[in-house]
A and B are shown apart, each in its own frame.
Chain A
């Protein structure tokens, strides 16, 4: 079984992983009554104890005969095998979280509108410069600065590299989301995760390669277009795994049938396919299709198992904040993310409903609420990955589509106490951890008031190239030949890998 063995053996969750393959399937199968596909496993997967590993194909270049998710070779040695993308939709405010600006305290209330007029989306609500309502302090050995609303992350800062000089090129959510997810401001291009699994395939064929854990409370802006495959074959698009109901679309029938019926059907299908294949020797497509049915069967079992956080110890559940408000929902998804990368899923992306970071008003409470929901689970994820020896091969990235303006946004008829901040694409902060990223680093900077990236600006293409680089992929060599063009995630930009934050 292609599960990453953990270096530590004292975690209760590992017990299940150490069980034999056969035992695992039997146990998992208990929870999956009536899945006809399960029976297919009885035929040759058990016998082989795993599928033969085909020769690994290179990550990119040229058309492929069949598009699948088999694991592929990197361009150069990788530092990370998986990515967990904690996407913070809405635009977290950099000057209130990672990028303190004493000048804002000094100049609080002063008008600054005319200097940045062209970048203010709602000019009629523009107020003066707004100091942060929160206190900042240095934490960890590195002395990384974080605001008081992220107390849990503050204890993990030595693992993370904060980039303070990110910038996007559009002040509206929709285009900015397309930009950060797919490199351009428009829909129709493949998402980062789609590119990664197109390039690398995945290590666990029994689970989707690119998993999206969206919030049961609702989809983000741009909905499913955030994880689209664009012009790549649809097989590379993100698969939503839901925490309620059937976790994967069509994973199980809506109405179960008695096991005996499923057994008869599974047997019949296998035998008919076998006769069909016997008459047609040398047809690789037929082998691939039969394999896809076996994989489907294994997915039924393994997906259920991977998402069953009930197998975790009480201590782990508490660490993430499962079972208590307001962390429960995000904690569950963080924990699932760990369980998925542990099993070799290549790319896991987490979303939150609506736009909790979109603090146009009521910043002081609103931003704190967003942190309260996510800070503990996120920090726990880092802790947990680290203690299991997974952090060094899992790239964790945290961030939104843009940042916010240093001036206040005051809703009509309200006063400064209910002020928020408008969208600010020219400068924002995000962080990366694990997967060969140097911990305890703060890179780049914005101008005096935190309006625009000033010192060592990092474009979204740079950031994409850096993520690919950690996965062993070169942004120029990971291309898809379309209409005579080599289409790339970084398009025609000339990105620079942010080497300064690499370990």
Chain B
């Protein structure tokens, strides 16, 4: 028998009734009408009739009145008012009564012709016959309870120990066949005889699931209602139903219409024409990029104008912060000021785009969206994720090498399915990177490392957060809403959430869960659940070589220690011997070299008398001053050498394990209320709704489903409706302070439509056509005239374009948390530019101040500070660093007194201002030059005449005051330095420092 290539709703279908489904699904045109001579059959007469008149509302998905007439099972199960059929008795059958009296179909639908009503009556009267050989009793029984209810129950309560990963007692409970086969103690169920079914006996005896294993297994006890369902199922012979998962098929999708697909962002990307340049000839604007033409076009419609170009140094400071998150170096400022090439600005852009600092800056935005944190969250303990940083570094590196965005997504969503990593000899750097990239899907807060919160609902919560991150970041859709109910605003039915979940099931399976990794000192049991120990052969041999060298050094140190012990003992002996009669000295020396067991009687006598005095035992040796100091030193060296040894590299990854459990829609999101079975698929509204989601194992013999790889490949289709639009909008937002779509994470119906739809689509096309290159996109945007506009705002602009919706100026923007901290360090000359690696630890002071721990008076960029959810550095939190629960798409900006208090009074900021002052002082002793230099360093430009005057005068006054306050003995240098530190501190507090034009 051929399986229908159709969308088969997950109903309750009996295996031997499969042929019905073929008929139901294929929608045969030939519909025979019953005549008096012929008894109507379900398949030939009734099913087509229902399909024409009833199934539109009474199908498996909609189930109006909780009735599904699309399958025989649904028909016999009945609806919210109970059974609708009494075989043989039409008068007692609600279904007949309803159509006979014209109550159904409802008034607005076409009514059933009389002969159809008669066909139904006749069919019921005849005992509801089928063409197929079908046991009616079984059909009604299966409608009552089938394997469809029991299999998920077994997974939930029993299969952790009796299923895929473990078969305790040789038992697998995942199917009827396996239950019948049973385990070491015999069959688990006896059909029709629950009382003698071992499974139930053990459950009733309270032995299963065993109390002592519940927590470890992440299982909650089976409920009374569940037991009685199981009992009933066995009692009625354990009826089985063919369960065909609900997937996209050629059949019309009733839940998502073509009209739904017409929403602007759901339409596939099409080429867009650039507005003609000639139209703008009468404007003062010189278009530098096509972007300008789109923007001016809209401005003209609004009778608005582009603002004049910003001053040269304003542009330099803006672009430097924008592309690197740091202030321009004073030398760069000076060079740019004298640069006369017409493309001097473009050269700066190119220089900044290749700076290693660029990837660090732009990684921040992606890491926010991905919900990056160095801890698990969800619980008070907030355990550390020791290897999360590798994903952070991966993002930085990807941006720095301008990895194409399509590849970037492929790696993050399906890095484990891109290339086989099972053969250690074949592991390449690319493969390692692929696996690290999947860390993207491991970012959701996750409390399941603790057994007491590692049950199915908590796991589903993690999956839900991860779907939210994926949906918002990549698709710009709030898919998570559809977890508990069909989306209220967007055409995302609940089914589609679970289809998407099914794609991730190979790796995220609530019934086959990998716990977060072991953390030394934090978790009790060593279970490296989410770590892959994979490295390139080169990396491994390098590691072995390095470790061997360290071992050798350690041995050398230990030899040193042994030698020291010998010499200290010798020294001690010689000293002690001085107080011993001279004639005994030589015999005693000899004695001590002889093993106690081999000494002669005279020697034993001498030993008893002198040995304790002459020989240092181990305890005494350790206390001996000559030994102790050196030993402590050597111990420390050995410890530090030990810590330099490299453990086998670990990658915190997500990977498909090849055997996903079936995915059921959870009614109201409740894991105990499974309803229809679904298969993998992407949201219907983003497809034609008919094309099945096709996937296959990524390479021959792969133990992977290939589902996520198929998802990733679909995402990066060149005309995908959302992928490129969402990303270019995100990039645009970070450059211009406002998205073309202002709701950057919501392109759905509740999102705000684009202010410049053509521009968005043009950019999206351009992005795809230039190989998804982010650097090209950056360059395109920041070299436009729109980007070069001044941020000064006129009263007309404030009136006509208050929100800057038409981009009639650049926004004035406050430094964000990382920019601020990094800038304070940079201007003070205390920024340690070492990239990558384990995050820098923080110090949590008793009063709550959290600071990062630097090395040798310098601190690394904020990106590299440990991001533990419960203890974020105070400076970052004060300036609006968001907490990742689970992620952050757009940061809030606050203005509060605590920020002023921080910059003004914080000890670390004050210390940095002194470093800043010393840096300037090292360059010049002239107060005027000092002010110039301080301005250039902190603000990227010199002072105006007025500023210079105010600053120099204050500097001199400060110096005089400090001089007057200090003792005569002190160096005059001190008062100059102190005065300059106050000036520098003031600049660090100034609005000019905090805001970028």
Q: Which A residues fall within an 8 A CB radius of B?
A: 35-37, 66-69, 172, 174, 178, 186-189, 205-206, 208, 221-225, 228-231, 233-235, 239-240, 242, 245-246, 248-255, 258, 260-261, 264-265, 267-269, 271-273, 275-277, 279-283, 285-286, 288-293, 295-296, 299-300, 483-485
Across-interface contacts of B874 in A (CB, < 8 A): 249
Q: Could you tell me if A234 and B894 are in contact, using CB atoms closer than 8 angstroms? A: yes
Q: Tell me the complex Cα distance, A36–B870, Å.
A: 32
Q: Could you tell me if B904 and A225 are in contact, using CB atoms closer than 8 angstroms? A: no
Q: Tell me the complex Cα distance, A268–B881, Å.
A: 29
Q: Could you tell me if A484 and B746 are in contact, using CB atoms closer than 8 angstroms? A: yes
Determine, out of B321-329, B374-382, B524-532, the stretch whose residues face the partner at the interface: B374-382
Closest to B896 in A: A235
Across-interface contacts of B889 in A (CB, < 8 A): 483
> What is the 8 Å Cβ interface bit string for chain B, positions 881-914, against chain A (1 contact, 0 not)?
1110100010011111111111011110010000
> What is the 8 Å Cβ interface bit string for chain B, positions 639-653, against chain A (1 contact, 0 not)?
000000000000000
Across-interface contacts of B904 in A (CB, < 8 A): 36-37, 250, 253, 293, 296
Determine, out of B601-609, B711-719, B983-991, the stretch whose residues face the partner at the interface: B983-991
Contacts A174-B379, A268-B954, A273-B990 hold; do A288 and B870 have CB atoms under 8 A apart?
A: no
Within the complex, the shortest CB–CB distance from B83 to chain A, in Å, comes to 33
Q: Tell me the complex Cα distance, A285–B992, Å.
A: 12
Closest to B813 in A: A285
Q: Could you tell me if A292 and B958 are in contact, using CB atoms closer than 8 angstroms? A: no
Q: Tell me the complex Cα distance, A207–B986, Å.
A: 24
Is B480 part of the binding interface, using a Cβ–Cβ cutoff of 8 Å? yes
- Report B903-944 residues with CB < 8 Å from chain A CB: 904-907, 910, 944
Across-interface contacts of A205 in B (CB, < 8 A): 897
Contacts A231-B885, A289-B895, A484-B748 hold; do A240 and B848 have CB atoms under 8 A apart?
A: yes
Q: Could you tell me if A249 and B750 are in contact, using CB atoms closer than 8 angstroms? A: no
Q: Could you tell me if B910 and A253 are in contact, using CB atoms closer than 8 angstroms? A: yes
Is B880 part of the binding interface, using a Cβ–Cβ cutoff of 8 Å? yes
A–B Cβ pairs within 8 angstroms, 11 of them: A66-B895, A186-B379, A187-B378, A205-B897, A230-B883, A249-B901, A250-B901, A261-B982, A268-B982, A268-B986, A282-B794
Q: Could you tell me if B905 and A235 are in contact, using CB atoms closer than 8 angstroms? A: no
Across-interface contacts of B902 in A (CB, < 8 A): 249-250
Closest to A172 in B: B452
Q: Could you tell me if B848 and A260 are in contact, using CB atoms closer than 8 angstroms? A: no
Q: Could you tell me if A264 and B954 are in contact, using CB atoms closer than 8 angstroms? A: yes
Q: Could you tell me if B793 and A37 are in contact, using CB atoms closer than 8 angstroms? A: no
Q: Could you tell me if A285 and B895 are in contact, using CB atoms closer than 8 angstroms? A: yes
Q: Tell me the complex Cα distance, A220–B17, Å.
A: 63
Q: Tell me the complex Cα distance, A261–B957, Å.
A: 9
Is B812 part of the binding interface, using a Cβ–Cβ cutoff of 8 Å? yes
> What is the 8 Å Cβ interface bit string for chain B, positions 853-893, against chain A (1 contact, 0 not)?
00000000000000001100010011011110100010011
Closest 9 CB pairs of A and B: A484-B478, A188-B885, A296-B900, A233-B892, A235-B894, A295-B897, A296-B897, A67-B894, A174-B380
Across-interface contacts of B245 in A (CB, < 8 A): none
Q: Could you tell me if A268 and B983 are in contact, using CB atoms closer than 8 angstroms? A: yes
Q: Could you tell me if A485 and B481 are in contact, using CB atoms closer than 8 angstroms? A: yes
Across-interface contacts of A37 in B (CB, < 8 A): 900-901, 904-905
Contacts A36-B904, A249-B847 hold; do A228 and B447 have CB atoms under 8 A apart?
A: no
Q: Could you tell me if A228 and B883 are in contact, using CB atoms closer than 8 angstroms? A: yes
Across-interface contacts of A271 in B (CB, < 8 A): 950
Across-interface contacts of A35 in B (CB, < 8 A): 905
Contacts A261-B961, A268-B950 hold; do A68 and B898 have CB atoms under 8 A apart?
A: no
Q: Could you tell me if B900 and A276 are in contact, using CB atoms closer than 8 angstroms? A: no
**B906's contact among A224, A250, A258, A292, by CB below 8 Å, is which?**
A250
Across-interface contacts of B985 in A (CB, < 8 A): 265
Q: Could you tell me if A267 and B848 are in contact, using CB atoms closer than 8 angstroms? A: no
Closest to B743 in A: A484
Is B135 part of the binding interface, using a Cβ–Cβ cutoff of 8 Å? no
Q: Could you tell me if A296 and B962 are in contact, using CB atoms closer than 8 angstroms? A: no
Q: Tell me the complex Cα distance, A272–B939, Å.
A: 13
Across-interface contacts of A281 in B (CB, < 8 A): 793, 795
Q: Could you tell me if A188 and B445 are in contact, using CB atoms closer than 8 angstroms? A: yes
Q: Could you tell me if B848 and A67 are in contact, using CB atoms closer than 8 angstroms? A: no
Q: Could you tell me if A264 and B982 are in contact, using CB atoms closer than 8 angstroms? A: yes
Q: Could you tell me if B989 and A258 are in contact, using CB atoms closer than 8 angstroms? A: no
Q: Could you tell me if A275 and B946 are in contact, using CB atoms closer than 8 angstroms? A: yes
> What is the 8 Å Cβ interface bit string for chain B, positions 824-836, against chain A (1 contact, 0 not)?
0000000000000
Size class of B's contact patch? 35 or more
Q: Could you tell me if A280 and B812 are in contact, using CB atoms closer than 8 angstroms? A: yes
- Report B940-997 residues with CB < 8 Å from chain A CB: 944, 946-947, 950-951, 954, 957-958, 961-962, 965, 982-983, 985-987, 989-992, 994-995, 997
Is B348 part of the binding interface, using a Cβ–Cβ cutoff of 8 Å? no
Within the complex, the shortest CB–CB distance from B772 to chain A, in Å, comes to 25
Q: Could you tell me if A234 and B881 are in contact, using CB atoms closer than 8 angstroms? A: yes
Within the complex, the shortest CB–CB distance from B804 to chain A, in Å, comes to 12
Closest to B902 in A: A250
Contacts A234-B878, A235-B896 hold; do A285 and B954 have CB atoms under 8 A apart?
A: no
Interface centre among B472, B907, B985, B992 (most CB of A within 10 A): B992
Within the complex, the shortest CB–CB distance from B967 to chain A, in Å, comes to 14
Contacts A228-B883, A230-B883 hold; do A258 and B900 have CB atoms under 8 A apart?
A: no
Q: Could you tell me if B989 and A299 are in contact, using CB atoms closer than 8 angstroms? A: no
**B447's contact among A186, A225, A273, A300, by CB below 8 Å, is which?**
A186
**A285's contact among B472, B812, B880, by CB below 8 Å, is which?**
B812
Q: Could you tell me if A292 and B897 are in contact, using CB atoms closer than 8 angstroms? A: yes
Closest to B468 in A: A483
**A286's contact among B745, B847, B883, B995, by CB below 8 Å, is which?**
B995
Closest to A224 in B: B848
Within the complex, the shortest CB–CB distance from A372 to chain B, in Å, comes to 27
Within the complex, the shortest CB–CB distance from B827 to chain A, in Å, comes to 16
Contacts A234-B880, A240-B848, A295-B900 hold; do A268 and B951 have CB atoms under 8 A apart?
A: yes
Q: Could you tell me if B893 and A187 are in contact, using CB atoms closer than 8 angstroms? A: no
**B962's contact among A224, A261, A299, by CB below 8 Å, is which?**
A261
Q: Tell me the complex Cα distance, A206–B885, Å.
A: 30
Known: A188-B377, A484-B750, A485-B481. 12 other contacts (CB 8 A): A222-B380, A225-B870, A235-B880, A250-B904, A250-B905, A250-B906, A264-B958, A269-B986, A282-B793, A288-B895, A293-B897, A295-B896
Q: Tell me the complex Cα distance, A263–B920, Å.
A: 23
Closest to B961 in A: A260
Closest to B994 in A: A289
Across-interface contacts of A189 in B (CB, < 8 A): 885
Within the complex, the shortest CB–CB distance from A201 to chain B, in Å, comes to 11
Closest to A174 in B: B380
Q: Could you tell me if A292 and B382 are in contact, using CB atoms closer than 8 angstroms? A: no
Across-interface contacts of A229 in B (CB, < 8 A): 883
**B989's contact among A231, A252, A269, by CB below 8 Å, is which?**
A269
Within the complex, the shortest CB–CB distance from A57 to chain B, in Å, comes to 15
> What is the 8 Å Cβ interface bit string for chain B, positions 737-780, against chain A (1 contact, 0 not)?
00000000110101000000000000000000000000000000
Interface centre among B481, B848, B907, B946 (most CB of A within 10 A): B848
**A282's contact among B378, B447, B798, B997, by CB below 8 Å, is which?**
B798
Across-interface contacts of A69 in B (CB, < 8 A): 896
Closest to A225 in B: B870
Across-interface contacts of B878 in A (CB, < 8 A): 234
Q: Could you tell me if B957 and A264 are in contact, using CB atoms closer than 8 angstroms? A: yes
> What is the 8 Å Cβ interface bit string for chain B, positions 468-480, against chain A (1 contact, 0 not)?
1000100000101
Contacts A240-B848, A249-B847, A276-B990 hold; do A234 and B377 have CB atoms under 8 A apart?
A: no
Q: Tell me the complex Cα distance, A249–B745, Å.
A: 35
Q: Could you tell me if A299 and B983 are in contact, using CB atoms closer than 8 angstroms? A: no
**B905's contact among A188, A251, A277, by CB below 8 Å, is which?**
A251
Q: Tell me the complex Cα distance, A267–B954, Å.
A: 9
Q: Tell me the complex Cα distance, A229–B883, Å.
A: 9
Across-interface contacts of A295 in B (CB, < 8 A): 896-897, 900
Within the complex, the shortest CB–CB distance from B928 to chain A, in Å, comes to 16
Q: Could you tell me if A483 and B745 are in contact, using CB atoms closer than 8 angstroms? A: yes
Across-interface contacts of B997 in A (CB, < 8 A): 280
Q: Tell me the complex Cα distance, A165–B327, Å.
A: 59
